[in-house]
């Protein structure tokens, strides 16, 4: 796994800032959608799609490609921004998000959007599908990897834990999961709605290799992703400590920014902040 130089990190940061701009613009134009959980995972996606995953936009159905399932499907604006930037589809698609006849649905649709590997939106289902993909890779004798991103609120779904057992039972070491631990869900703080703690212990008890990381620190993200790939015999859960709404000051840690689009003033303010270099 390559190590990031200072210049690399600067470049990734500027890439991520540009994608945050795309997310905000897309949601502003759509007039609805989910900014908070999109901004919390964008740094993870940037590391995966620019530094880790083997995907080729010119050959999006290559059987040997790595897969990513966005189990917390409502954060698809982040995925769309990345896929557009990597060239899976033209950037102007982003302007049509959530509109009639758009290839970019409100939640990911594998039949409509190039680069989307699994349709999601009903929470709790993505890890099972990712397990199936990882089992298929093993049957094929292929080294390809499967990545999946779950939400912390989403982890209250029973199916997540059914799938957690399946992954460890089948020793899916070709699977890397990220848990976007931003602490918030729709009705408030996860710890107040229904606590998941002790979270890392739970995944360990379910038979997983568990790593924790600052989900906005590129070098660390790259490093743990490498450690996950190197782990033999167990699936890996990377608990990414993130900030919901990260990068737009007035959205950060605000439950209200889970599922509403910025109005014009908010849009301009957000862009100005991002253009000024974002907040660290």
Partner 1 sequence: MTEKVATRDAYGRALLELGRRQDKIVVLDADLSKSTKTALFAEEFPLRFFNVGVSEADMIGTAAGLATSGYIPFASSFGVFAAGRAYDQVRNSIAYTRLNVKIAATHSGITVGEDGASHQTLEDIALMRVLPNMIVIVPADGGQTYQVVETAAAYEGPVYIRLGRPKVPGVVPHDTPFILGRAQVLREGTDLAIVAAGYMVAPALEGAAELQKEGINAAVINMHTIKPLDVELLVHMARKTGAVVTAEEHSIIGGLGGAVAECLSEEYPVPVVKVGVKDTFGESGSPEKLLHKYGLTAGHLVEAGRTALQKKGQM
Ligand X SMILES: Cc1ncc(C[n+]2csc(CCOP(=O)(O)OP(=O)(O)O)c2C)c(N)n1
Residue 119 lies near partner 1 (rule: CB under 8 A): yes
Stretch that binds ligand X, among 52-60, 148-156, 246-254, 264-272 (CB under 6 A): 148-156
According to CB under 8 A, which one of 128, 168, 185, 236 is a site residue for partner 1?
128
Nearest Cα neighbor of 79 from 120, 23, 159 is 23
Residue 137 found at the interface with partner 1 (CB under 8 A)? yes
x/- binding map, residues 142-181, to Mg ion, per CB under 5 A? ---------xxx----------------------------
132 or 259: whose CB is closer to partner 1? 132
Return the structure tokens found at 22.
């795309």
Give me the sign of the Cα torsion angle 104, 106, 112, 116. Answer: positive
The reply to whether 44 sits near ligand X by the rule CB under 6 A is no
Binding of Mg ion at residue 125 (CB under 5 A)? no
Closer of 33 and 151 to Mg ion (Cβ): 151
Q: How far is the CB of 72 from partner 1 (least distance, A)?
A: 14
Neighbour tally for 154: CB within 10 Å: 25
Task: Determine, following the binding rule CB under 6 A, whether residue 153 of this chain makes contact with ligand X.
Answer: yes
Q: C-alpha 275: how far from its chain's center? A: 23
Query: Is residue 185 involved in binding ligand X (CB under 6 A)?
Result: yes
- Nearest one of 33, 77, 76, 97 to 262, comparing CA atoms: 33
Q: Measure the CA dihedral 120/103/42/34, to 10°.
A: -70
For the chain, what is the radius of gyration of the CA atoms?
17
Q: In angstroms, rounded to a whole number, what is the distance separating the alpha carbons of residues 210 and 234?
A: 10
Instruction: Show the tokens assigned to 189.
Output: 């703080």
> What is the longest distance spanned by two Cα atoms in the chain?
53
User: Which of partner 1, ligand X, Mg ion, none is residue 258 near (CB under 5 to 8 Å by kind)?
Assistant: ligand X
Binding residues for ligand X (CB under 6 A): 36-37, 40, 72, 74-75, 121-124, 151-154, 180, 182, 184-186, 244, 258
Binding residues for Mg ion (CB under 5 A): 151-153, 182, 184
């Amino acid at each position: 796994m390559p190590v990031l130089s200072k210049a690399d990190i600067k470049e990734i940061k500027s890439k991520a800032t540009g994608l945050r701009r795309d997310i905000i613009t897309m949601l502003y134009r759509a007039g609805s959608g989910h900014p908070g959980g999109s901004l919390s995972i964008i740094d993870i996606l940037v590391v995966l799609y620019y530094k880790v995953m083997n995907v080729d936009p010119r050959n999006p159905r290559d059987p040997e490609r790595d897969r990513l399932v966005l189990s917390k499907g409502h954060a698809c604006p982040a995925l769309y921004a990345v896929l557009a930037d990597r060239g899976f589809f033209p950037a102007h698609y982003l302007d049509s998000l959530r509109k009639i006849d758009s290839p970019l649905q409100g939640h990911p649709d594998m039949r409509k959007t190039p680069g989307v590997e699994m349709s999601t939106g009903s929470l709790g289902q993505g890890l099972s599908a990712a397990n199936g993909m990882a089992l298929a890779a093993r049957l094929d004798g292929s080294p390809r990897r499967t990545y999946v991103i779950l939400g912390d609120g989403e982890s209250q779904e029973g199916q997540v834990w059914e799938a957690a057992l399946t992954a460890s039972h089948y020793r899916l070491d070709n699977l890397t999961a990220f848990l976007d631990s931003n602490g918030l869900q729709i009705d408030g703080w996860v710890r107040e709605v229904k606590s998941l703690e002790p979270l890392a212990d739970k995944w360990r008890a379910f038979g997983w290799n568990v790593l924790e990381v600052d989900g906005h620190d590129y070098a660390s993200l790259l490093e743990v992703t490498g450690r996950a790939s190197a782990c033999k015999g167990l699936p890996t859960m990377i608990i990414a400590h993130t900030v919901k709404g990260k990068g737009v000051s007035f959205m950060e840690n605000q439950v209200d920014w889970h599922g509403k689009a910025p109005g014009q003033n908010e849009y301009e303010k957000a862009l100005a902040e991002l253009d000024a270099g974002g907040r660290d």
